[in-house]
Structure 1
Amino acid sequence: MSHFEMIIFDLDGTLLDTVEEVASAMNDALLESDLPGITLDQARSWVGKGAAHFLTQVLEHHQLQHAVDFDALLNLFYHHYELRSGTLSQLYPHVRESLETLRKSKRKLCVVSNKFKRGTDKVLRAHRLDHLFDDVFGGDSFEQKKPDPVAVHFLMQKHGVSPEQVLFIGDSSTDVATARNAGVEVWVVPYGYNHGEAVEKSMPDSIIDDFSVMLHRLSCA
């Protein structure tokens, strides 16, 4: 068995394909505000750095960044996303069975996402994954978001593990940078959201095709 005592997972683009419900929630908020909408492909390139960054990208694309009440529109997006959470998202292949197997191994399993905490919790509950994790943090759980390592450092201290005992699983350059900043190993999946760029460019420690490969490597390491 591997030496990893704790495995930290990103959420969007790693465990779940959530871009359709994120885009739909944004379009709900934009429509209610009489603003032009966005496409699914645009959303796929803009998600991953938190809702405020996502909204900034939307407004800059439409050249509306100085024409709207940003905070009001962001709160409206949060409202619509809570309604949409778990309705249009789906698990990536082998995620559920892999997490259930890892849960039996007594490792600490955690989620660190840049999605706001309420939305993170709701989508995990909707897909019946919430009981598999020891801790779940969102982008508003700490003052800083990923790639700041504050959440990883907190988890290491809470559970008494060293950086060498921690593995971060993600899908983007943000996740790779988070792991590097925390001094922990990072593996990435190639199917998620990486701001329109190939995730290989971020130089992770390993690229895994899907969660079955992750499970095999952890079992054989």
Structure 2
Amino acid sequence: MDDTLLHLWIDWNGAVKKEILESVDGLKLDPSEHIVYMAEKASNNPERKKIVDNIFWEYESVCLENSEYSIYAQSAGILRELRKRGHKVAIASNNTVRLIQGVVEKAGFEVDAIRGRDSVKKAKPSPEMIFSIMDELGFGREDVIFVGDSFTDVGAGKAAEVRTIIIKPGEIDLRKVLGI
């Protein structure tokens, strides 16, 4: 979601990383590591995972309350066009479900399923979110096109063995790629 559909004004590599590092007593984490991998290592048991998910939500909730995010117009338009054409649309994000639901509601998007870091045991690049959505919607691998913007999305799509398209909003015309 973050940097595929919208941009959140969150200092992931500063404030969020620092808070995660401070929250995991006795666990050695590399502060230079990417936030996704650091958060995954810090979430090595259910109690710690809940702490990390709450840290994410702490920052995301401020963004949501203060509308500190920018929705990419092209991505939003594509979501609407896909729905208009009868396609199912789902969001699988390493953000929290509460953030995703809040943005979806505020923006007036129609989605059929949502998965976030706090609704699964492992965040992307694990394929768990994709598999969970496929199960809910009754889709096989051949029915899915997974669109993302990062290495975690590539990893999740590859692990789920679904068609995966990586975009950079504003730089690639996804309408042409999808043929819409």
Same fold (TM over 0.5): yes
Q: Which amino acid aligns with 2:83?
A: R
Give the Å deviation of 1:27: 4.7
Structure 1: gaps (5+ residues): 1-10, 32-44, 57-70, 192-207
Q: TM-score, normalised by structure 2?
A: 0.72
Q: Which amino acid aligns with 1:84?
A: C
Cα distance in 2 between the residues matched to 1:128 and 1:51: 33
1:145 is aligned to 2:133: no
Kept after mapping to 1: 8 A contact 2:114/2:133: no
Kept after mapping to 1: 8 A contact 2:94/2:123: yes
Kept after mapping to 2: 8 A contact 1:170/1:186: yes
Instruction: Name which of 18, 23, 33 aligns with 2:11.
Output: 23
**Matched residue SS, 2:98:** helix
Q: Counterpart in 2 of 1:164? A: 142
Q: Which amino acid aligns with 2:86?
A: K
Alignment map for 1:189-208 (pairs within 5 Å): 189-190=167-168
Q: TM-score, normalised by structure 1?
A: 0.60
Cα deviation, 1:93-137, whole Å, max 9, x if unaligned, reads 4122221111011111000001121122223323332xx210011
Structure 2: gaps (5+ residues): 20-32, 43-49
1:218 is aligned to 2:178: yes
Aligned residues: 160
Cα deviation, 1:44-88, whole Å, max 9, x if unaligned, reads x955x28936xx7xxxxxxxxxxxxxx878746633431322622
Please say which structure displays the higher CA radius of gyration: 1
Q: Counterpart in 1 of 2:39? A: 52
Percent identical among aligned pairs is: 24
Cα deviation, 1:144-180, whole Å, max 9, x if unaligned, reads 1111112211222232222122111000111001000
Q: Counterpart in 2 of 1:4? A: none
Alignment map for 1:94-113 (pairs within 5 Å): 94-113=74-93
Q: Counterpart in 2 of 1:13? A: 3
